[in-house]
Structure 1
C-alpha cells in the first residue's frame, strides 16, 4: 500500500475512534490514551496527525460541516422547493447520525462547549443560515404563511432539531431519531404551512422517514 494512502487511512481510523469515544463518553472524559487504545494505533501515529485533542475535535466538526454542506448542495440540485430542500437536509443529517459516529460526535462537541476555530463556522450558525434562506424561499413560493416570522421559525427549528437529538441521546437509541424528526416536522408543518399545501409536505415527511428506515 502506498505510504500516503496508508497515512490517510490511519488518520481516518483515529478520527472515527475519537468520534466514537466523544459520542459515547463526551469530550472531557476522553483522553488521547483512550483514543490510541480504541483506534489500535501507536501514540506516535496519533501525534503525527494530531498535536492535541482539540485538533481531533476540530477535524470531526470540519467533517460534519462538509457533510451538511454536501447535503444542502444535493437538495438544491434536485430542483426541489425551498421547504422540501430544507426537510431533505434535516433528514439527511438524521440519516448520517444513525449510520456514522462522526456526525453524532460533531453534535455532542457543538453542544459541549468545544471551541470552533475559524475559518470553520459553528454548525448551529450554519444551520440557522440555511434554515433562514430556505424559509425565506418558502414564503416567496407560498409554502409558508406570508406573515411568518422567518427568523423566529428558523431559530425554533434549529433548537427543536438539536434538542430532539440531545434528549434522544439520553433516553432512546439513535435509530429512533428519524421518528422524532418526523414528529418535529408534523408539528411545524401544521403551524407554518397553509392548509392547501400541508398534505404534500406531510406526505413528504412520511416518505423521507421511510427512506431512512429502509435505506
Structure 2
C-alpha cells in the first residue's frame, strides 16, 4: 500500500506510534481490537487497513451499469460483442485510454472507459491487482440480535482476517461487519496446493 501512495491508511497494531496516529486520525476504539484481546492480556498483532471493506461484486457491477445507462452511456453485452479484447490507446500518450476493442474486432471510442468486471477487473487493468482480492471459502452467516448490533457495525467492526496469507497450509479465517439485514459474515479460507 505504501508503493501505491496509501501507506498513511495502514496502521500496525503493535506500534505505539501507529496507535497514536490512529487516534489522531479518528480510528480509535474497537476497530483496532474488536475482540478485546488487550484488555484480556492476550497477544494482538496485525495491520488495521482503514481502506478495507467488502463489496458484493455482482451488486456493485449492477449498480454501476444502472448509473452509466441512466447517464446515456452505450453498453455492449453478449458473446464477442460484449467481450473486452484490448484498449484503444492515444498515439502520443500510451497511458491515455481512448476506447476499447471487443472480441468481435469492433472499435468503440469513448471519452471515458469504465472497467466494472468485479474481482476480474485486475486482469484487464493490472495496476488494480494490489487493491482487489477475491476469495473462496465456506461462509457462515450469523443473525445478530438488535441489542448487540452496535458491537458489529462497520463503524466499529472492520473486516478482518487471521492466518490468511495465501501461503499458509490450511488457509485461515476472516469476517465482515454487519450488513443491512444484521448478518455477520464469517469465512474459512482454504489454501489449495498443486
TM-score with structure 2 setting the length: 0.28
Larger Rg computed on CA atoms:
2
Greater RCO (Cα-Cα under 8 Å, separation 6 or more): 1
Q: Per residue, is there more helix in 1 or in 2?
A: 1
TM-score with structure 1 setting the length: 0.26
